[in-house]
């Protein structure tokens, strides 16, 4: 994903704040890299099966950052700078909305909402 109108330090601070508030252990999977006007990055959980990670549609524990973890980070970035623009694979998030939009990550025959795959105990 990529973010605009946020510095790398603000991004790192936002991730640290989310970890403190949610009790998660999120880290950068792709270290922040400034290319043009955007900072590109991805996040993941330090371990599978802990707060902030998620499970697959079949129930397998993953180190992927959960839907909630991403949402909390996006909210934090918008708190830092309301002019932030976050672009993910499926949406654009800014002060006008786009965050907390759930989607099916399963199949037509076995639908699973992305929000239901989160391993969260705080704030979800």
pLDDT tens digit sequence for 28-85 = 999 999 999 999 999 999 999 999 999 998 889 999 999 999 999 999 999 999 999 9
| Contact partners, residue 87, CB within 8 Å, separation at least 6 | 1, 2, 3, 4, 38, 93
Backbone angles phi, psi at 4, to 5 degrees: -125, 150
Is the separation of the CB atoms in 49 and 34 below 8 Å? no
Report CA dihedral (119, 62, 8, 21) to the nearest 10 degrees.
Answer: 20
DSSP string, 68-93: HHHHHHHHHHHHH-TT-EEE-SS-EE
- Segment 30-34 long-range contacts (CB within 8 Å, at least 24 positions apart): 32/8, 34/8
What local confidence, expressed as pLDDT, does residue 123 receive?
43
DSSP letter for 66, please: P
What local confidence, expressed as pLDDT, does residue 121 receive?
65
DSSP alpha helix (H) spans, 6-82: 8-22, 67-80
What local confidence, expressed as pLDDT, does residue 124 receive?
43
What local confidence, expressed as pLDDT, does residue 5 receive?
97
What local confidence, expressed as pLDDT, does residue 57 receive?
84
């Amino acid at each position: 994903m990529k973010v605009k109108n946020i510095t790398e330090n603000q991004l790192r601070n936002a991730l640290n704040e989310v970890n403190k508030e949610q009790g998660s252990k999120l880290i950068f999977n792709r270290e922040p890299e400034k290319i043009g006007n955007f900072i590109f990055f991805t996040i993941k959980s330090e371990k599978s099966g802990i707060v902030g990670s998620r499970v697959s549609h079949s129930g397998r524990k993953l180190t992927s950052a959960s839907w909630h973890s991403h949402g909390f980070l996006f909210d934090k970035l918008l708190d830092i700078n309301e002019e932030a623009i976050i672009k993910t694979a499926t949406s654009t998030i800014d002060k006008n909305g786009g965050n907390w939009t759930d989607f099916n990550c399963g199949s037509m025959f076995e639908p699973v909402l992305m929000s239901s795959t989160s391993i969260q105990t705080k704030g979800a």
